């Protein structure tokens, strides 16, 4: 049996333009997808856009366009951003696509046939000017949280999902599977939420029309979250599964932000239980980014545009920074000074220097041809054994999505490389003809360490890895596939050019 891995991002709302928060989720998934692929897995990586619902309808109206026109326009921005950031998703789903609508309606029918969907009445507080329903807890002093005006209690006919029926089954599943919800703090949060009791869930609306109609009762549109969550299986062609994608890839690992935890760990699993489908393998909720200490928002005009960041600092730099700066799962703060600090120290000083010093010395002492290594001394053995130790360590950390710890481990190898240069002092060895074999060993190990480092950073910084491996004369055509062989050391005799600076330092005033 082939090893398979299915990872998903949330599907992004089209009533907002992409910012670093969105880029963060997608990049984390991309690192996982690239990592698993390089370790022999067949990978499905899904992203897309969430295009239905009242918010999109309202945003379109305000812009004087149809919801689909708005979606068509904004979806391009997301797609252009993912192209720019070099993400390797294998599918992009839009909830307005026929394939998706079909699955949502089939899913609705199948749960209804089971008796877990019934018609009832939804009662909540309604703000007429905003045309929005609010729950008791959402309101502020009994008024609409958006416009502060008075609300009235209104009833709306609605279909309900018997979520309460699945409370015990869900609780048992979370308890029996400690990794189902990660990190642990989020798991605890959901455990206590479910223990308090689940109510049945309203899953249709009649107050607006931009959505997927309820099969057999077109007055109702299916609730956006029932619609949106189903994307994870509609993209696999469920239920027909003509291409056997569902059979091959389901269940998925869902990476999400902490704000949409409940939808993914309570609603979605209970929908799946009702439909008789296996639950997701894991739901990992990451934290939120603020910008220079403040919440990111359009009104504060502090939205950080990832496209522009990538143009200014480089794609791999942004990929590195976002995953290195903050432990995955915790909140973090974006600041230009932190970004520049990482560029100058981790990228220019540590990684960039190791590559340029090594290749420059090889040019100087061996005319750019990789020598045959001689007998190894303790210092060499110690350095070389760190190669495989780092791979093991970084792989284990990536399996837990501990991206920043994996990068720290990789950077320990980079530092060890720089230290190896300082301690073996190739410039001194080069002065003594008798030390030629010693110099050859040192230079060989050093340059071969670049190969290992490049392979380790591949999921994070694919273009940088390609540059380094190309410099080392490696064939990179299969670098991003399961066929790439990790363990083959460099061949003595290979010609290696002097590297051009990869990460120029950024001068700050
Ligand atoms: N459409 C829903 C998801 C449906 S999934 C079936 C949605 N979309 S969203 O566009 O609002 O958010 C998508 C993701 O971006 C979420 O995971 C959210 O946590 C993440 N982020 C949005 N702002 C963020 C930050 N400031 N920081 C980090 N991530 C943030 O929710």
Ligand 1 centroid to Cα of residue 369, in Å, is 50
- Three-class secondary structure of residue 118 per DSSP: strand
Ligand 1 centroid to Cα of residue 89, in Å, is 17
Q: Which atom of ligand 1 is nearest to the CA of 290?
A: 26
Q: What pLDDT, on the 0 to 100 scale, is given for residue 126?
A: 82
End-to-end distance of the chain based on CA atoms, in angstroms?
57
Structure tokens that stand for 136 in this block: 């008791």
| pTM listed for this prediction | 0.95
Give 9: exposed, middle or buried? Use CB within 10 Å, 0-12, 13-18, 19+. Answer: buried
Please give the domain boundaries of the chain with CATH numbers for all domains. Answer: 335-509 (1.10.730.10)
Residues with CB under 6 A from ligand 1: 10-13, 16, 21-22, 24-25, 50, 228-229, 231, 256-257, 259-260, 288-289, 296
Q: What's the whole-number mean pLDDT along residues 111-123?
A: 95
Q: What's the whole-number mean pLDDT along residues 137-165?
A: 90
Q: Write the CA distances from 384 to 149, 390, 429, 455, integer angstroms.
A: 69, 10, 20, 15
Q: What pLDDT, on the 0 to 100 scale, is given for residue 481?
A: 82
What's the rounded Cα separation, in Å, for the pair 132 and 121?
16
CA atoms 442, 445, 447, 453: torsion sign: negative
Ligand 1 centroid to Cα of residue 9, in Å, is 9
Structure tokens that stand for 361 in this block: 């010395």
- Tell the residue nearest (CA) to atom 12 of ligand 1: 12
CA atoms 481, 484, 490, 494: torsion sign: negative
User: Is residue 399 very low, low, confident or very high in pLDDT (cuts 50, 70, 90)?
Assistant: very high
Q: Are the beta carbons of 210 and 67 closer than 8 angstroms?
A: yes
Task: Report pLDDT digits (tens) over 42-54.
Answer: 999 999 999 999 8
Q: What pLDDT, on the 0 to 100 scale, is given for residue 297?
A: 80
Backbone angles phi, psi at 56, to 5 degrees: -70, -40
What's the rounded Cα separation, in Å, for the pair 105 and 416?
57
- State which H helix or E strand residue 94 sits in: strand 91-94
User: Among 7, 9, 10, which is best to mutate for testing ligand 1, by the most ligand atoms less than 8 A from CB?
Assistant: 10
125 against 52, higher pLDDT: 52
Ligand 1 centroid to Cα of residue 132, in Å, is 21
What's the rounded Cα separation, in Å, for the pair 55 and 61?
10
55 against 420, higher pLDDT: 420
Q: What pLDDT, on the 0 to 100 scale, is given for residue 300?
A: 77
Q: What pLDDT, on the 0 to 100 scale, is given for residue 296?
A: 86
**β 213-214/217-222 pair status:** antiparallel
User: Among 11, 22, 261, which is best to mutate for testing ligand 1, by the most ligand atoms less than 8 A from CB?
Assistant: 22
What's the rounded Cα separation, in Å, for the pair 327 and 329?
6
- Tell the residue nearest (CA) to atom 21 of ligand 1: 21
Q: Are the beta carbons of 282 and 179 closer than 8 angstroms?
A: yes
Task: Report pLDDT digits (tens) over 327-358.
Answer: 999 999 999 999 999 999 999 999 999 999 99
Place of tokens 């812009």: 63
- Tell the residue nearest (CA) to atom 16 of ligand 1: 257
User: Is residue 1 very low, low, confident or very high in pLDDT (cuts 50, 70, 90)?
Assistant: low
Residue 509 pLDDT greater than 90, yes or no: no
Task: Report pLDDT digits (tens) over 196-236.
Answer: 999 999 999 998 899 999 999 999 999 999 999 999 999 99
User: Is residue 183 very low, low, confident or very high in pLDDT (cuts 50, 70, 90)?
Assistant: very high
Ligand 1 centroid to Cα of residue 366, in Å, is 52
What's the rounded Cα separation, in Å, for the pair 295 and 233?
33
Q: What pLDDT, on the 0 to 100 scale, is given for residue 21?
A: 95
Mean pLDDT, the chain, integer: 95
Nearest CA-CA partner of 303 in 319, 287, 291, 315: 291
User: Is residue 395 very low, low, confident or very high in pLDDT (cuts 50, 70, 90)?
Assistant: very high
Q: What pLDDT, on the 0 to 100 scale, is given for residue 352?
A: 97
Q: Residue 204, by phi and psi: left (phi above 0), alpha (psi -120 to 50) or beta?
A: beta
User: Among 8, 9, 12, 71, which is best to mutate for testing ligand 1, by the most ligand atoms less than 8 A from CB?
Assistant: 12
Q: Residue 314, by phi and psi: left (phi above 0), alpha (psi -120 to 50) or beta?
A: left
- Tell the residue nearest (CA) to atom 29 of ligand 1: 21
Ligand 1 centroid to Cα of residue 341, in Å, is 27
Say if residue 251 is preceded by a cis peptide, omega within 30 of 0.
Answer: yes
Q: What's the whole-number mean pLDDT along residues 15-38?
A: 95
Q: What pLDDT, on the 0 to 100 scale, is given for residue 127?
A: 78
- Tell the residue nearest (CA) to atom 5 of ligand 1: 10
Max CA separation in the chain (angstroms): 92
Q: What pLDDT, on the 0 to 100 scale, is given for residue 40?
A: 92
Residue 28 pLDDT greater than 70, yes or no: yes
Ligand 1 centroid to Cα of residue 24, in Å, is 10
Residue 131 pLDDT greater than 70, yes or no: no
Task: Report pLDDT digits (tens) over 478-507.
Answer: 888 877 777 889 999 999 999 999 999 998
Q: What's the whole-number mean pLDDT along residues 294-318?
A: 90
- Tell the residue nearest (CA) to atom 6 of ligand 1: 229
Task: Report pLDDT digits (tens) over 431-454.
Answer: 999 999 999 999 999 999 999 999
- State which H helix or E strand residue 127 sits in: strand 117-127
Q: Count the alpha carbons within 13 Å of 341 in the hemisphere toward its beta carbon.
A: 7
- Tell the residue nearest (CA) to atom 13 of ligand 1: 12
Q: Which atom of ligand 1 is nearest to the CA of 289?
A: 27
Give the percent of the chain with pLDDT over 90. Answer: 85
Q: What's the whole-number mean pLDDT along residues 359-366?
A: 98
- State which H helix or E strand residue 222 sits in: strand 217-222
Q: What pLDDT, on the 0 to 100 scale, is given for residue 54?
A: 87
Ligand 1 centroid to Cα of residue 29, in Å, is 13
Ligand 1 centroid to Cα of residue 288, in Å, is 9
User: Is residue 128 very low, low, confident or very high in pLDDT (cuts 50, 70, 90)?
Assistant: confident
Q: What's the whole-number mean pLDDT along residues 154-160?
A: 91
């Amino acid at each position: 049996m082939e090893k398979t891995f299915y990872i998903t991002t949330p599907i992004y709302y089209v009533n907002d333009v992409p910012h670093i928060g969105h880029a963060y989720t997608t990049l984390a998934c991309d690192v996982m997808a690239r990592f698993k692929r390089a370790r022999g897995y067949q990978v499905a990586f899904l992203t897309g856009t969430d295009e239905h619902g009242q918010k999109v309808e309202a945003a379109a109206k305000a812009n004087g366009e149809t919801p689909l026109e708005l979606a068509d326009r904004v979806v391009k921005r997301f797609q252009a951003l993912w192209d720019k950031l070099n993400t390797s998703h294998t599918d992009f789903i839009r909830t307005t696509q026929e394939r998706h609508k079909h699955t949502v309606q089939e899913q609705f029918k199948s749960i209804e046939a089971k008796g877990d969907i019934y018609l009832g009445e939804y009662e909540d507080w309604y703000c007429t000017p905003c045309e929005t329903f609010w729950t008791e807890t959402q309101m502020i002093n009994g008024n609409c949280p958006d416009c502060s005006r008075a609300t009235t209690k209104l009833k709306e006919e609605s279909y309900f999902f018997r979520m309460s029926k699945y409370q015990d089954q869900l609780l048992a599943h979370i308890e029996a599977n400690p990794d189902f919800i990660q990190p642990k703090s989020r798991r605890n949060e959901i455990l206590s939420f479910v223990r308090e009791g689940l109510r049945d869930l309203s899953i249709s609306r009649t107050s607006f029309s931009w959505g997927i109609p309820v099969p057999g009762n077109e007055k109702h549109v299916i609730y956006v979250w029932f619609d949106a969550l189903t994307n994870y299986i509609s993209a696999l062609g469920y239920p027909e599964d003509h291409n056997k994608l569902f059979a091959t890839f389901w269940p998925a690992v869902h990476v999400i932000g902490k704000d949409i935890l409940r939808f993914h760990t309570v609603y979605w699993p209970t929908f799946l239980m009702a439909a008789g489908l296996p639950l997701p393998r894991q739901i990992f909720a990451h934290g939120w980014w603020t910008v220079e200490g403040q919440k990111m928002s359009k009104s504060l005009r502090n939205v950080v545009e990832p496209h522009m960041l990538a143009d200014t600092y480089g794609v791999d730099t942004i990929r590195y920074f976002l995953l290195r700066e903050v432990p995955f799962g915790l909140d973090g703060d974006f600041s230009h000074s932190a970004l520049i600090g990482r560029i100058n120290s981790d990228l220019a000083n540590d990684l960039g220097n190791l590559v340029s010093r090594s290749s420059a010395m090889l040019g100087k002492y061996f005319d750019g041809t990789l020598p045959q290594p001689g007998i190894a001394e303790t210092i060499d053995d110690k350095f070389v054994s760190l190669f495989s130790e780092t791979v093991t360590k970084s792989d284990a950390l990536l399996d837990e999505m501990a991206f920043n710890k994996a990068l720290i481990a990789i950077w320990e190898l980079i530092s060890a490389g720089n230290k190896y240069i300082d301690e073996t002092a190739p410039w001194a060895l080069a002065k003594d003809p008798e030390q030629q074999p010693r110099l050859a060993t040192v230079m060989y190990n050093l340059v071969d360490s670049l190969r290992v480092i490049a392979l380790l950073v591949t999921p994070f910084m694919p273009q940088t890895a390609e540059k380094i491996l190309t410099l080392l004369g490696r064939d990179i055509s299969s670098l991003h596939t399961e066929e790439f062989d990790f363990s083959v050391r460099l061949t003595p005799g290979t010609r290696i050019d002097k590297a051009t600076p990869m990460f120029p330092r950024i001068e700050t005033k």
